[in-house]
Amino acid sequence: MSTILVFGASGQLGQCLAHVARERGTAGLHFLAEEQANILNPEGLAALFAEHRPAYVINCAAYTAVDKAEDEVDLARRINRDGVVNLARLCGEHGSTLIQISTDFVFAGSGNQPLAETDETAPISIYGLTKLEGEQVIPGLTERYFTLRTSWLYSEFAGNFVKTMQKLGRERDELRVIWDQVGTPTYAIDLAGVILGIIESQSTAYGLYHYSNEGLTSWYDFATAIFELSGIAVKTTPIRTSEYPTKATRPPFSVMDKTKIKTALGVAIPHWRESLKTCVARLATAE
């Protein structure tokens, strides 16, 4: 039985991986919380690799506080770049396959066409920059890797936009939501299924891939769909990004082209609204 180490297991995607693994009966996964496996501790990581000799390493650990990263540059870089260096180096030494999670924030988002893996990166935030730096260090340390860029993650687990909108929609009479940032919501349960599918297929089509759900939407339209599917009656007003200033700049258009992952890895991708229906139904069942 192959051993799979999951770093950042307490985060949203880590919890989704655990859920999907249970549903599929996938064995061999070891979910390591930060206190067990700090990716900034090379000695501790070396001991883990020596003990488990993993076939796969899934890195869900990341600094994801987008606005705070503008002030905590060194910490964001240590986690998003240096931590990846530590894992990739050990993967190279042990022959393990690294599955690294990255982000649409590596793009400036200044265009209006879906972004392919070969398109120029130009991050406009510290978060996006440090995640890109994490991507860039991998190929020099190991040939066995899958880097998956994703966007707008949500699920039944941890804090995310869907759960926040449901909470605020039930508490308030009116919400103002940005309409001039366009992207694709991604159900983290779907992403977890793709990750486990890569492992189960034992694919050697290594490299960089984009994965989100299909379609595109704005944050305003996403929120409207959440309220509609959740049966929440709240007045929703569209606003421009300039009316809701944040410390970090967000890409105005970050819709990713998924042609490569569909053709090279045979991945079938549901539309974002269909996956949102599933998530909302599961959240209702859990209430």
Q: Which residues participate in catalysis according to the annotation?
A: 127
DSSP 258-285: -HHHHHHS-----BHHHHHHHHHHHHHH
Structure tokens at 130: 């440090």
Query: What length is written for the chain?
Result: 287
* Residue type present at position 276: L
Burial class (CB in 10 A: 0-12, 13-18, 19+), 285: exposed
Other Cβ atoms less than 10 A from the Cβ of 202: the count is: 10
Burial class (CB in 10 A: 0-12, 13-18, 19+), 63: buried
